[in-house]
Structure 1
C-alpha cells in the first residue's frame, strides 16, 4: 500500500471531533460504542474519517500495562467503523448492509504515541475503497486501505478484504451452510469461572474480559477453548449468529500473551477467516510458546505468534499476533 499524504492536505475542510455519528451508520447498537465523529468524502473511492478513542473503556482499557496505551484492537475497531461509515457515504452501499471480513492486517508502527495521559485521542483516517461494481451497480467483493494519523504523524495502517451482503442474503447464506437456523450470542451460556484462564496470565485485570478456558501448555504449544462472556458489550455490542472476527482476534492476543512470559504489547494482527465460527460447537485456539527475539541494542523486543482456530476438525481462522515491547522517549 502506498503512503498517503496527511489527510489534512486532501481538503481544506477540517474534520469535527465534537460528537459521534449516528450509531446506525456504523452498525452499532450502543452510542457508547461509537468512535467515529465525522466522515467527509474526497472522491467516490476516498474519504477522510475522524475518530476519537476514549481515555477509559471497560473492555479496551482493561490491560496489565505500566504505561497505559490505547489498545491496538480499539484502533482496529475504529478502522472497521470508519470503513463501514465511509462505505455508506462515498460508495453508496445502503445502511444496514453487512460487511463480512475475509482477511485483514493492521500494524501500529508508533505504539508509543498512543499513550493515554487522561485525555481522549483524536485520530484521522484516510480510507480508500477497492473493488469493481457488478452489472447491477453493487460491489460484491471489495477491499479497504486505511492510513491512520495522530495529528500529521502516520502511526499505523490497516487493510481489509470484505464481502458486502444484504441482511436477507446473510441469513439465507447461514441457513444453507448450517442446514439449520443458527443460534444467537444472546443465548450463549456464561462460561464456568472455574476453568477460565487467570486474567493476569492473558494480560487482563477483570475476569469479564477473559475469553479463554482451560489453557494447557505442551510440547512448545499452548491451547485453549474460546469462551467469551456473552454479556461483554465490548465484544458483543449487538447479537451475532457466530463468533465475530474481533472476538477471535481478542482470543488470539490472549493466547499469544499467555505463551510469552514478558510484558509485551500487541502492535499488529494479520488474519484470514476461512469459515464462520459457530456458536453451538467448541472452538479451540493453539499457538507456539517461546520468547521474543532481541533486536539491535536498545531496540524493542519483537515476536510474531501464529494462532490457529479449529472447530469440528476444520480450520476456522489463522491470526498472527505481533507482540513487542514499547520504548518511551
Structure 2
C-alpha cells in the first residue's frame, strides 16, 4: 500500500535546521561504491547532529537503465532509482559519518522502501532529492562499527516521496574474504565470468515494463500454480549492475528481479508502492538463482529467491492498480 505522509515517524525525523545542500557536483565516487562518475547521483552530504545526517541527490533526466520504463513508472521517479539514491546516501554516511573504512565489506540484511502517493508535476530541469537520515548503531566491536540501521526520508521540492530503512553489516575486507571462502569452499568468481548473453530464454521487455532487452533481469519465465517462476539472468556487461566487478548478485539486482517478477505476476498496469526485503545469504554467481512470485492480495506480490534449494532472499513488492 502507498505510505501516507502521516506514517512517517516524527520521532525519527532529523532536526529541521539542515544546512543548504549543493547540487553542483557529485560526491567522491568511492564514498558510494561506484567506479563511473556517471553512476553517482549523490551531490552533497552533511552532519546535522549525533547520528543525524542529510544528503542531496540529483535524479538524472535520462538514464539507459533507471530511465528505461514503460507504463505507470514512466512518468514518476523510478522506485529503483530511489533505492539507489538511498543506497548511495547510506554508504556515504557509513564512510564519512560513521568511520567505516573504504575497504570494508558491506552486507545488506534488510531493506524496505515505502512510497507515498504524492503526485509530482513534470519539470524541465533535473529533479533534486533531499534525503534525511537517522542512524542507529546496532553493533560496535573493538571500537569499530560492525552493524547499523538507517531510517531515511526522501523528499523533493518539499513533497515527501517516501521512507527507506536499511540494515547493514560491515566487516574488514580480509575477514569477510576468509568467511566467504569458508562457506563456499572455493573462491567466488567475478561478474566478468558471466556470459555476455545470459543462458535461457529472456523475458520480453514489455512484460516487465522495460524497452531495452539488456535491462531484463529474468529468463525462462513460466506460469505456475498461484504465480510465476523464473531464473535471474543479468548480462555480464550491464553498465549499472556490474559497473564494477562483483562476486555475487547484489541486493539491487535482486530488487530489480523482484520488481520484474512482481510485474509478471500482477501485470504491467500496476504501480510499485514499495519493497520489504530480507537477505539471508549471498546470491552466488556460479549457480542458478530461482525466482518464485505469488500475488498475496490486491496490494502485494511475495517474491522468493532460492539457490541450491536454499532461500537467499525474500522480497514483498507493494503494488496498486494504476489509473
TM-score by length of 2: 0.91
SS of the counterpart of 2:160?
strand
1:50 matched residue in structure 2 = 56
**Structure 2 CA distance for aligned equivalents of residues 22 and 207 of structure 1:** 31
- Counterpart among 285, 298, 301 of residue 291 in structure 2: 285
2:103 matched residue in structure 1 = 96
2:119 matched residue in structure 1 = 112
**Structure 1 CA distance for aligned equivalents of residues 109 and 118 of structure 2:** 26
Between 70-79 and 125-134, the greater mean CA deviation after superposition: 125-134
Matches within 5 A, 1:1-329: 2-3=9-10, 9-11=16-18, 13-65=19-71, 67-110=74-117, 112-113=119-120, 116-132=122-138, 134-192=140-198, 195-289=201-295, 293=298, 303-326=299-322
SS of the counterpart of 1:252?
helix
Contact 2:66 2:81 (8 Å CA) reproduced? yes
**Structure 2 CA distance for aligned equivalents of residues 141 and 16 of structure 1:** 29
Q: 1:151 to 1:96 in 2, by over 3 A?
A: farther
Give 4+ residue runs of structure 1 displaced > 4 Å after superposition.
4-8
Contact 1:222 1:289 (8 Å CA) reproduced? no
Unmatched 5+ stretches in structure 2: 1-7
Cα drift, residue 265 of structure 1: 2.0
Q: 1:172 to 1:275 in 2, by over 3 A?
A: same
Contact 1:142 1:162 (8 Å CA) reproduced? yes
Q: 1:6 to 1:105 in 2, by over 3 A?
A: closer
SS of the counterpart of 1:201?
helix
Contact 2:12 2:151 (8 Å CA) reproduced? no
**Structure 1 CA distance for aligned equivalents of residues 170 and 93 of structure 2:** 14
**Structure 2 CA distance for aligned equivalents of residues 65 and 268 of structure 1:** 17
Cα drift, residue 270 of structure 1: 0.6
Contact 2:13 2:134 (8 Å CA) reproduced? no
| Number of equivalent positions | 315
**Structure 1 CA distance for aligned equivalents of residues 12 and 141 of structure 2:** 33
CA RMSD of aligned residues (A): 2.1
Q: 1:188 to 1:218 in 2, by over 3 A?
A: same
Cα drift, residue 219 of structure 1: 1.7
**Structure 2 CA distance for aligned equivalents of residues 116 and 102 of structure 1:** 35
Unmatched 5+ stretches in structure 1: 294-302
Cα drift, residue 262 of structure 1: 4.7
SS of the counterpart of 2:25?
coil
- More relative contact order in 1 or in 2 (CA 8 Å, sep 6+)? 2
**Structure 1 CA distance for aligned equivalents of residues 138 and 284 of structure 2:** 31
